[in-house]
């Protein structure tokens, strides 16, 4: 039977404490062993934010990572609001840390634009994404890093925190957590908890699809990585947590999330179909005339 976490931030729930206790020694051992590297690992943690006060909790959890002992970690904050509402939060944290903290205002309220700005701003060979309503366990980065060998993207689970007032049916369904079935191969993923090989991304020109805006852009991004030969892995102990807020603990929100998931699958399928048709039209000139009408109709569907 699924166990549900009910404590609130900033104190991690009991289950999270047990997870951290169980895996902290392993993560510390990973850190000790990695000290034999000639150069410390360089990575950036990107947090795309839109009007969330919880951003500070997210940043602080990055600042407590065990991986900081052996890796050069930068924090990149992409503020997607029309006004620079996250600037003061970034400045407040920067004033009391020795970490490199970069703030960029990328107005537009478009998550694809924000994430592409993160890709553009990251100068390190590895880039991690975490959402601004999550906070990371202390061994989060260490576990992602430990699983990076042979991988171009490493995902971790996003575990929902349910307070006592949350209805039992929501806790039992656990509709707010994100996990990946450990199938082989993994063909896509999400940006709420991931470490990305930026060398691979730059080599293949991977981008988040602006047409998808607020839904499905990460699904398509990582599937494109997979299609180009990328290896996707899953690190079960690289956990981040999200406390479920009242506006999301109801039937309306759950139904809308499921509906959006269906939309995402349809939109991604349409995009993949368009890509295949364009490729076929390019490489099969004899059937080009027959394929072009299908390409045009697909583009009309995507653009509305």
pLDDT tens for each residue of 162-221? 999 999 999 999 998 999 987 789 999 999 999 999 999 999 999 998 876 666 789 889
Q: Is 11 exposed, middle or buried (0-12, 13-18, 19+ CB in 10 A)?
A: exposed
Both structure tokens of 174 = 């656990």
Residue 303: pLDDT above 50?
no
The partner residues of 135 in beta bridges, in order of sequence, read 241
C-alpha closest to that of 154 among 244, 41, 58, 273 = 41
Neighbouring-strand partners of residue 126? 43, 197
Question: Residue 250: is its pLDDT beyond 70?
Answer: yes
The pLDDT value given to residue 22: 44
For residues 156 and 111, give the distance between their C-alpha atoms in angstroms, rounded to a whole number.
20
**Tens digits of residue pLDDT in 98-127:** 999 999 999 987 899 999 999 999 999 999
CA 37/CA 70 separation, integer angstroms: 9
pLDDT of residue 281: 61
pLDDT-derived band at 300 (thresholds 50, 70, 90) equals: very low
On the question of pLDDT at 45 being above 60, the answer is yes
| 295 pLDDT more than 60 | no
Query: b/e string for 94-128 if b means 16 or more Cβ within 10 A?
Result: beeeebebbbbbbeeebbbbbbbbbbebbebebbb
Averaged over 29-46, what is the pLDDT? 66
Mean pLDDT of 127-155: 97
Residue of 30 and 51 predicted with greater confidence: 51
Higher pLDDT, 30 or 138: 138
Residue 137: Cβ within 10 Å count? 27
Sort residue 115 into left (φ over 0), alpha (ψ -120 to 50) or beta. alpha
Rg (CA), the chain: 20
Q: What is the pLDDT of residue 272?
A: 65
Q: Which domains does the chain have, with CATH numbers?
A: 14-249 (3.90.550.10), 250-304 (no CATH)
Q: Which SS3 state, helix, strand or coil, does residue 155 take? A: strand
CB 122 within 8 A of CB 76: yes
Structure-token pair, residue 164: 């006592």
Neighbours of 227 (CB within 10 A): 13
SS3 100: strand
Are 41 and 266 a contacting pair, CB within 8 Å? no
pTM of the model: 0.77
Q: Give 48's strand partners.
A: 78
* DSSP characters over 42-59: EEEEEEEESS-TTHHHHH
Q: What percent of the chain has pLDDT over 70?
A: 72
Residue 65's Cβ-side half-sphere holds a number of Cα atoms within 13 Å equal to 30
Looking at every residue in the chain, the average pLDDT score rounds to 82
Q: pLDDT: is 209 or 45 the higher one?
A: 45
Q: What is the pLDDT of residue 278?
A: 61
Q: Give mean pLDDT, residues 288-293.
A: 55
Nearest to 110 by CA among 191, 198, 217: 217
Is the confidence at residue 52, as pLDDT, over 70?
yes
Residue 24 and residue 42: Cα distance in Å, rounded? 21
Locus of tokens 């009007």 = 51
Residue from 193, 176, 230, 149 nearest 46 by CA:
193
Classify burial at 85, counting beta carbons within 10 Å of its beta carbon; exposed 0-12, middle 13-18, buried 19 or more: middle
């Amino acid at each position: 039977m699924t166990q549900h976490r009910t404590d609130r931030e900033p104190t991690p729930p009991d289950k999270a404490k047990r997870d951290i206790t169980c895996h902290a020694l392993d993560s510390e051992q990973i850190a000790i062993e990695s000290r034999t590297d000639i150069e410390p690992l360089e990575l950036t943690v990107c947090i795309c934010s839109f009007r969330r006060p919880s951003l500070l909790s997210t940043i602080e959890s990055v600042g407590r990572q065990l991986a900081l002992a052996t890796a050069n970690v930068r924090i990149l904050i992409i503020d997607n609001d029309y006004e620079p509402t996250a600037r003061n939060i970034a400045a407040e944290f920067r004033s009391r840390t020795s970490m490199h903290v970069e703030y960029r205002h990328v107005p537009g309220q478009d998550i694809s634009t924000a994430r592409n700005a993160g890709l553009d701003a990251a100068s390190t060979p590895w880039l991690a994404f975490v959402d601004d309503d999550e906070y990371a366990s202390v061994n989060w980065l260490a576990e992602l890093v430990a699983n990076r060998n042979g991988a171009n993207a490493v995902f971790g689970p996003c575990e929902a925190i349910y307070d006592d007032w949350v209805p039992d049916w929501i806790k039992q369904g656990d509709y707010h957590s994100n996990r990946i079935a450990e199938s082989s191969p993994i063909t896509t993923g999400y940006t709420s908890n991931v470490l990305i090989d930026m060398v691979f991304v730059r080599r293949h020109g991977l981008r988040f699809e602006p047409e998808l805006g607020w839904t499905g852009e990460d699904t398509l991004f990582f599937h494109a990585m997979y299609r180009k030969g990328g290896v996707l892995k899953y690190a079960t102990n690289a956990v981040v947590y999200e406390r479920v807020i009242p506006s999301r603990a109801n039937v309306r929100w759950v139904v809308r999330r499921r509906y959006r998931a269906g939309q995402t699958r349809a939109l991604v399928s349409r995009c993949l179909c368009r890509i295949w048709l364009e490729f076929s039209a390019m490489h099969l000139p004899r059937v080009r005339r027959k394929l072009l009408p299908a390409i045009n109709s697909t583009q009309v569907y995507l653009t509305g």
